[in-house]
Amino acid sequence: MKPTLSIILLLLAVGLPSAFAQDEKSASGTTAGLAKIDITPRVPVRMIGYASRDYEGEPAENKLFARALAIGDEAGRLGALMITADLLGIPKSLSDRVFERIERKLGISRERFAISATHTHGGPTLSDYMQEMHFCKILPAGEKQHIDEYTAWLVDRLEQIAIQAAGSRQPANLRWGEGRAGFAMNRRVIENGTWKAMRPNPHGSVDHSVPVLTVTAADNDSKVLGIFLSYACHCTSYAPPNKGFHGDWAGAAAQIIEKRHPGSHA
């Protein structure tokens, strides 16, 4: 059973505001820069997320995005850089290719750089990522070429957004808090230590906490520059036979948050 996007977004609308008020901790004397870029495939690329998919996804009105957060100090030194992307996952080869480029241009060390995925099951396949295992077959040469071409283009886009975020740093306040959202549901039934079925399991393990990092302007604390949140729930509300790319509930939630805070990146 998959909750619809409308139900999920309603729960998010109820649950997320409290995340900014609970257990808040702040840090000042820092700089932060944020950037956002469209990573929606411009040509058909094989979709990933379900083994039953045997088709290439198509460009659609629903966009996929990557967002970057760069954090530094008042002296201008870059301390950390994080990119999140509307993808199922990030292969090490992709992360290494992006880091190799930004290391030369930004001078950041590897332990201060990370790329994470929203884990949308409505995204494109990447090179070196679950191709044979996911599809249980070798992809046709033409489709493999489309994946490699998209991955190379994606590396360019992620390099671009990293440089944009680092170059846009300004004095900022960082705050860390935690709220709750209740729509995540364990979907595995285990009996005597053995997996029996895939269905809603109200007695299974869940984590309803929503850790939130907010970035506000140092000279105007009411101006939200960026919001980073995490929630333990698969992005599987957008399922086959849909062929258009989609950021699923995480992508939709980010768009709602950005609409509530104009000019911010979520």
- Residue 27 has a pLDDT of 59
- Residue 12 has a pLDDT of 42
- Residue 184 has a pLDDT of 94
- Residue 109 has a pLDDT of 95
CB 131 within 8 A of CB 140: no
With a cut of 70, list the residues of the chain below it in pLDDT: 1-28, 131-137, 240
pLDDT tens digits along 23-54: 455 555 799 999 999 999 988 898 888 877 77
CB 18 within 8 A of CB 180: yes
- Residue 17 has a pLDDT of 39
- Residue 145 CB-half CA count within 13 A: 3
- Confidence (pTM): 0.86
